[in-house]
């Protein structure tokens, strides 16, 4: 996965919500979400991947402004209005954040 990992996003100064959004966006940008692919086909899955890739490139370029946040919210609203759920990417995001948290807990021992 290109772009920032969870720990890199946090180290770069993103708060936990921003880091989670960045990781989810990066997963969405890296490959066509398999949940969307199964339910809606390759063309729509690739279209969503492309939408996410455009925003991820801005985020990777250092953009952290109100316009980017508005565009992220618009992407989310657009997906919802079309009945598209990038669930596989969301599952991977949660698993990544859980692994990061487990690593942090184990490092304390």
Query: Would residue 35 count as lying in a domain?
Result: yes
Number of domains in the chain: 1
pLDDT above 80: residue 63: no
Query: Would residue 93 count as lying in a domain?
Result: yes
Query: Would residue 25 count as lying in a domain?
Result: yes
* pLDDT given at position 50: 98
Query: Would residue 1 count as lying in a domain?
Result: no
Query: Would residue 50 count as lying in a domain?
Result: yes
* pLDDT given at position 85: 97
Give the three-state DSSP class for 13. Answer: coil
b or e along 61-77 (b: 16 or more beta carbons within 10 Å of the residue's beta carbon)? eeeeeeeeeebbeebee
The reported pTM is 0.80
User: Across all residues in the chain, what is the average pLDDT?
Assistant: 87
Query: Would residue 13 count as lying in a domain?
Result: yes
Query: Would residue 20 count as lying in a domain?
Result: yes
Structure tokens of 55?
Answer: 């925003």
- Average pLDDT estimate for 7-11: 59
Residue ranges making up the domain that contains 62: 6-107
């Amino acid at each position: 996965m290109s772009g920032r990992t969870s720990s890199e996003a946090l180290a770069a100064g993103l708060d936990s919500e921003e880091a989670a959004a960045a990781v989810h966006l990066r997963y969405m940008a890296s490959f066509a979400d398999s949940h969307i692919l199964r339910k809606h086909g390759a063309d729509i899955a690739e279209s969503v991947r492309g939408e996410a890739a455009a925003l991820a490139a801005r985020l990777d370029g250092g953009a952290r402004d109100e316009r980017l946040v508005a565009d992220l919210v618009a992407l989310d609203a657009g997906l919802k209005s079309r009945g598209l759920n990038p669930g596989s990417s969301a599952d991977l995001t949660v698993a990544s954040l859980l692994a990061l948290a487990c690593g942090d807990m184990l490092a304390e021992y």
